[in-house]
Structure 1
C-alpha cells in the first residue's frame, strides 16, 4: 500500500500505508514493553526513596531528607516542558535524552546509597535524579502515544502505571545496599531503551484501521461519544492563553500535592508496606482507568477517582496515627488508586481538549504543575511530621483537599466549544 495522508471530518491528519513492522522491523508492542520497563526502573527514584527514608544515613535529622525529595519532584516536573521541546526536535530516535537519563538516574541512586550530607543528597538525588526521571517520563509517554494514536488513553495509562507499579515489589526492600545494585540495573535498562525506542513518522496511523471510520464508528472507537475531539488544532502558545490549560494545571497541582503528601508522610513514618501498596494500586489504577475513561468519559472517570482518593485520606491518616499497618496498607492502596489516576488521564485529556498536533508540548506544560503541587505536598508532610499535630486536623485537610480536587474536574471545559453544545464527560 502506498503511503498517503488523509483527514477525517474533524480535520485531523493521518499518515497511512506503512506498518509498524515495515518501519521498525518489529511490532510496536516491543516499544510499548520497552517504555514500560524504562518507566518502572526510573520509578524507583520516587517511591523507592520514600520507602528508604528510615534507613538513610542516621546522621540526617528525621525530616531533613524530605528536602531532597522536594527538589527531586521540582526538577522532575520542570524538566517535562524542556524534554518535550527536545523530543520534538529529535529525528527518528530519542536516544539522547534517554542516555542522559541513564547517567543521571544511576548517579542519583548511588547518591542515595552513599551521601552523608544534605547538600550531596540534594544535588545528586534531587537535581540529577529529578532531571533524569523527567527526561525518561516525558520521552516514554511521547513515544507510546505516537505509536498508539488509536489507543492513546489506554496505552499512556499502561506506561504511566509502570512508573508506580514497577517500584512496588522493591519498596519494602529499599535500603542503602539495595540502591547500589539498583543504580547499575536502572542505568542499564535506560541505556537499553535508548537503543530500542524509535519515533514514528509524523501523524502515523496503523493501516489495519480506517481512520475516517474510526472517527465516527462507536464499535471501532469505544471513546465515542463520551470524549469529543478538540474543536480545532491548538498550538502550545494558543493553548496557554486559553482558560482550559490553566484549569488543567490547577488540577495537576492539587493532585500532585495530595500524592506527594501521602508518599512523604508514609515515608516519614516508616510505612514501607503501605508505600508498596500505594505504588502498586497507583500503577494498577493508572493502567486501567485509561480504558475505563474511553467508555465513561475523561472528566467523569477523573472526578470519581479523585473523590475516592480524597475519601481514602480519612482512613489512611487515621490508620497511620493509630500505628495500624494493616489499615495503612488498605487505605494507602485506595489513596494510590484514586489520586494516581490524575497523571494517567492527563495525556488523553490534553489531546481531547487541544488535539494531537501539539500534544507533547502542551502535556509537558500541564505536567509541570507537579513541581508546585509536589513540593507543597512534601513541605506540608515535613511540617506535620515535625510538629506532630492532631490526627483530626491532618485528616480533615487532606481529605477535603482530595474532594475539592474532584469537584474542580467538573469545571473543566473544552476551549473553543460553546457551553450550549455537547462536551466531553
Structure 2
C-alpha cells in the first residue's frame, strides 16, 4: 500500500492488480458517476440509427441498386469496428481525452446521413457514409464503452452492457420515421435532419465526458476484499480470474484469443445479417414494409435489453455458459425466420427477429467481460478493442456477401447458413480456456 496524494491510497490485491482509492466522483468532476453513465448512454443512442436504421431506409426508398447500397453498410461496419482498437490505443498512449474523441466522432458520424442526403453517387456514399461515418461511430462507441468501464470497474460488464444497449434503443424513433415518412422525394430533408440531430446530441454529450484517474476505484468498496470474496463480488463464483495480465501483443498469441475472435466473427455476421436484411426479406416475401420496420424496431429494442441483461446473468451463471446460450438462441432465431417466411406467418417473423436481436446484443458485453476475465482487468479496454475488430469481418460476411443475393431473392439461404454457423459457434465456446496456466503432463 502506498500514498499517492492527499487522501489517495494505492492498494494492491493478491493478484497484483493496483487500485487508486480515496477519491469520490464528486471530488473529480463535481457529479456522481451516474452523470457519466447517462451521458455515454445518450451519446451511444445517438449513433444507433447509422446501423439499425439503414435497412429500413433502403427498403423505404426501394433503391434500384440495393446490392450496392448494402455494400455501403458492410463497409460502414468495417470502419466502425476497425476504429475501436486504434481509439483505445490512442486513448491509452496519447491520453486522447473523451471530449475530443467524441466531438470528432460526432462530426464524422453526421457526415454519413448528410452525404446520403445530397448525392446519388455510390463512390461518394462509400466515402461519406462508410469511411467517415463508420470511423466516427467506432470512435464514439469505443470511447463511451471505455469511459464507463473506467467509472464502474467493479461492475464493468453490467454497465458497459447498459451503455452499449443504447446503440439499439436510440435507433427506434428513426426506424419508425423512415417507415412512415421516408420517400425518394423527401430523402434530402430527412437524412439532413438525421445528420444534424446526431451532430448536436452526440457532440453535446461528448463535450461533458471525463475519465477518472488511472486505476481509480470507488472508495466504498474494499478492492482487496472484492478481489477474493464471493459474497461481495458474486461473479467470482461462476467465472475465472486471469492468471496474469496480458497486454494486447501477448493476448493475440493465445489460443483463447483466437477462439474468441472466430466466434465473434460468426456471431457478428449472423447478427448483422438480421439487422440489415430483415426489412428487405419482409418486403420480398409479401409482408409489408410496416411488418419489416416493426420486426427490426423490436430487434433493436431487445438488442439493447439483451446487452443490459447479459452482464447480470453472466455474473450469476457464468459468462461462457451465457455466451453459448446466446449463440444457441441466435442460431435458432435465424432458422426460425426462414421457417416463419415459409409458412407466411408475419407474427412469427417478428418474434424470431426479436429473438435474433436479443441474442445479437448479448454477446458483445459477454465478450467484454470474458476478455477482462481471461486477459486481466488493466488491459481489458485495449484487449477488447482488438477482439471487437472481429466485427469488421462479420460485416463483410453478414452484410457484404448476402448483398449479392438481394436481386435474386436468395437471402433465405444466407439466413440458413448463419443459423447453422451460430449453432456451431455455441459448441466452440467449450474451446475457450484460460491462458497462462502451466501445462501438466501426467507420467507414463
Q: TM-score, normalised by structure 2?
A: 0.90
Q: Is the 8 A contact 1:14 1:203 kept in 2?
A: yes
Instruction: Write the distance in 2 (CA, Å) between the matches of 1:418 and 1:273.
Output: 52
Instruction: Compute the displacement of 1:213 (Å).
Output: 1.0
- The answer for unaligned runs of 5 or more in structure 1 is 421-425
Q: Is the 8 A contact 2:402 2:414 kept in 1?
A: no
Q: Please tell me whether Structure 1 or Structure 2 has the larger radius of gyration of its CA atoms.
A: 2
Instruction: Write the distance in 1 (CA, Å) between the matches of 2:332 and 2:103.
Output: 41
Instruction: Write the distance in 2 (CA, Å) between the matches of 1:374 and 1:291.
Output: 28
Q: What aligned pairs does 1:22-421 form with structure 2 within 5 A after superposition?
A: 22-56=27-61, 60-91=64-95, 93-174=97-178, 175=182, 176=187, 177-269=189-281, 270=283, 271-320=292-341, 324-389=345-410, 391=412, 393-418=413-438
Instruction: Write the distance in 2 (CA, Å) between the matches of 1:196 and 1:323.
Output: 49
Q: Which moved more, 1:329-338 or 1:267-276?
A: 267-276
Instruction: Write the distance in 2 (CA, Å) between the matches of 1:411 and 1:418.
Output: 17
Q: Is the 8 A contact 2:48 2:167 kept in 1?
A: yes
SS of match in other structure, 2:53: helix
SS of match in other structure, 1:399: helix
| Equivalent residue number for residue 423 of structure 1 | none
Instruction: Compute the displacement of 1:339 (Å).
Output: 2.3
Instruction: Write the distance in 2 (CA, Å) between the matches of 1:162 and 1:390.
Output: 28
Aligned length: 418
Over aligned residue pairs, what C-alpha RMSD do you find?
1.8
Q: Is the 8 A contact 1:274 1:325 kept in 2?
A: no
CA gap of 1:390–1:364, structure 2 versus 1, over 3 A, is closer
Instruction: Write the distance in 2 (CA, Å) between the matches of 1:59 and 1:339.
Output: 27
SS of match in other structure, 2:306: helix
Q: Is the 8 A contact 1:226 1:297 kept in 2?
A: yes
Instruction: Write the distance in 1 (CA, Å) between the matches of 2:65 and 2:71.
Output: 11
SS of match in other structure, 1:197: coil
Q: Which moved more, 1:175-184 or 1:137-146?
A: 175-184
Q: Is the 8 A contact 2:109 2:198 kept in 1?
A: yes
Deviations 1:196-245 (A, max 9, x none): 11111111000011111111222211112211210111111111111111
